Chains A and B, each alone.
Chain A
């Protein structure tokens, strides 16, 4: 099954076309032009990766990244920006972004980063499940 991705960018023409191209590559894609609406989606649905624009009205990308990671610490967020400065990149990585890409995007690179993010998320989910089982077994005193 293809990767489940959420695209967040206020440029409607950009995410509509990018979503179509990603669907052509077998991914399951949801889109949102509003970071506030996107946060609700993240709360109610699970995604393998979130692709998030750094500069948006309502809420900037760094704030949105923090909010997403608070709601779901395992969520893999790939940040998009017009200008990938080293400072912004470091800040984003410190806040837990999985990766950082500069616009215009190379779809092959983005697909690769989404696959990596999905694999990383699977490991985190498995680890989490393993720990839960360990805790249950330890707690029972068998």
Chain B
């Protein structure tokens, strides 16, 4: 694995995801802070003789619980993401990895006003690869598809087991290109990642999908 070549790309991705997570956590803290402040307001009002409606407290509590659950999901994803750097090669379940990258991309999708739908097959697809760089290339594919998807703005991701390899398809790309060259993808950084992951990327004009072909075992 040529770490020197892909290291900078990986570090950039790590920074981008970390910044996004910290923004999300700040937003969650802001909501919890306002709800705690509202309880304080209601308590002060009650000291002045205005009774507290128990329903109001129930609503505030529900809002706080909702935000704690939101933070928990984000932090669980963050933990899995951070540990993906632990080993250069690891056995991973592809569907699980795609779902994780989708979770990490949720804020970017929301900013772009795009929905992301994952249709993983029920049978697990086990692959041996570099988990971190595999996440990096999947993230870049999702990002590209989000910027170039069809109207209605939903990115569909499907995975397929091909025996010795696996496929991830990202669609549907909008019909804006006359030739694949116009898309300008994959660019230099994606090409470095593809080379490191022994994978290839195909733009299918027929299915309007970006297809990522990956080996089941990177060491073979």
Please list the residues of chain A having a beta carbon within 8 angstroms of any beta carbon in chain B.
10-11, 13-14, 17-18, 20-21, 24, 55-58, 82-83, 103-105, 107
Q: Give the interface size class of chain B.
A: 20 to 34
Chain A: which residue is nearest B113 at the CB level? A57
Q: Give A91 Cβ to nearest chain B Cβ, in Å.
A: 17
* Interface pair B38/A20, CB less than 8 Å apart: yes
B contact face: mostly helix, strand, loop, or mixed: helix
A contact face: mostly helix, strand, loop, or mixed: loop
Q: Give B28 Cβ to nearest chain A Cβ, in Å.
A: 9
Q: How far is the CA of A83 from the CA of B20 in the complex (A)?
A: 11
With A18-B34, A83-B23 in contact, do A57 and B29 touch (Cβ < 8 Å)? no
Q: How far is the CA of A104 from the CA of B30 in the complex (A)?
A: 4
**Chain B 1-44, CB within 8 Å of chain A: the 1/0 string?**
00000000000000000010011001101111111011001000
Q: Give A93 Cβ to nearest chain B Cβ, in Å.
A: 21
* Interface pair A58/B113, CB less than 8 Å apart: yes
Chain A residues with CB below 8 A from B37, complex form: 17, 21, 107
B26's contact among A18, A82, A107, by CB below 8 Å, is which? A82
Chain B residues with CB below 8 A from A83, complex form: 19, 22-23, 26
